[in-house]
Amino acid sequence: MVESEPNILMQNWEDDYLIETAIESPRVWNTLYDEIEIQELKSDRFDEVLKMIEDHYIYDEPLIQSSLMHTDNGSVKEYLYLVQTWMKDTLSTVAVEQKTGNVVGFLICRFNEIHNRDPEFSNHRVYEGTILRELQNFKHYLTKRGNAYKHNNVDKMLEVYSWFVLPQFRSKGIGTELLKNVIERQLPEYKWFDIKVIAGVFTDKVSQRIATSLGMETLYEFVYSAWTPINKTTGEQKEFFKEIVRENYSAKVMCVNVGQSSSSSVHSGHRSNNIDEHDITL
């Protein structure tokens, strides 16, 4: 695997045209096997990522697949709207196949603040779609108990929301590289916003292993079968997650503090082994 510098740094800055082109072009953080580029997610790729979520992610991501969200059009529509909102923070990342120019994987994240009063991201917001509403309840339950703000004594952080690689492109280290890029290479952007902590809800065994290998610690773990919301109409308590795929029995709230001393694994040259990547989180 050959490291490549962000292409924005390789232009001739004496040429105004090249400067403008460099700013508009996505940064290429790394290239895998001379065939997969890890790029900054730009707005011209939003529709492609949304299409991948609609066609693949909602059927394959363990939490969403098990909730059968694809059967609830209101939930799917609302989720796609949320993803589009998250992507506008512009710090998300995509994996692009050089041969075709197509996106084959993505990692979507955004900045969060504990005192953010924006109702768009409040845990009191009423989401369209019954299934998505319960999925968000589940996520808020986990993040409240695995409180990365309190654990790290911070009031802002970068949160991973969606992480996915198309099945035919797995076992190539792409998923590992997407998360590694967020943890290691985008530090200048985080420092600008005084961000030290990266956190997320990781929903399957593979993503949890990758996160651990990159220095993330588990703050809270919850077994899916224990999530049994009460039907307000009948009073019946019923298991929400119908059938977890690939023996993924629990979700974990995980985080890493990238602002810690250089002795930490993130800054000490720690490099993980490539793990068969999958996908994660709401």
pLDDT of residue 115: 79
pLDDT digits (tens, 9 = 90+) for 39-56: 999 999 999 999 999 999
Read off the pTM.
Answer: 0.81
Give exposure, 161-185, as e/b (b: 16+ Cβ within 10 Å).
bbbbbbeebbebbbbbbbbbbbbbb
What average pLDDT score do residues 57-74 get?
94
pLDDT in tens, 194-224: 899 999 999 999 999 999 999 999 999 999 9
For residue 267, give every residue at least 6 positions away whose Cβ sits within 8 Å of its Cβ, in sequence order, or none.
Answer: 258, 260, 261
Q: For the chain, give the mean pLDDT.
A: 82
Q: Taking the domain 28-280, which CATH number applies?
A: 3.40.630.30
**Between residues 232 and 121, the one the model is more confident about:** 232
User: What pLDDT is recorded for position 267?
Assistant: 39
Angle at 12 between CA 8 and CA 16, to 5 degrees: 90
pLDDT tens, position by position, 123-154 = 556 678 999 999 999 999 999 999 999 999 99
Is the dihedral angle over the CA atoms 24, 26, 29, 34 positive or is it negative?
A: negative
Measured from the Cβ of residue 188, the count of other Cβ atoms closer than 10 Å reads 7
Is residue 96 within 8 A of residue 102, CB to CB? The reply is yes
How much of the chain, in percent, has pLDDT values that exceed 70? 79
Residues 112 and 121: beta-carbon distance below 8 Å: yes
pLDDT of residue 237: 86
What pLDDT shows up at residue 69? Answer: 94
% residues pLDDT > 90 (the chain):
60
C-alpha distances (whole Å) from 12 to each of 8, 19, 224 are: 10, 7, 53
User: Residue 88's pLDDT is what?
Assistant: 87
Question: What pLDDT, on the 0 to 100 scale, is given for residue 19?
Answer: 40
Highest mean pLDDT among 27-31, 33-37, 217-221: 217-221
Evaluate if residue 118 carries a pLDDT over 70: no
Evaluate if residue 122 carries a pLDDT over 80. no
List the structure tokens of 253.
């709230």
Compute, in degrees rounded to 10, the torsion defined by CA atoms 67, 117, 190, 174.
Answer: 10
Instruction: Give pLDDT, residue 126.
Output: 65
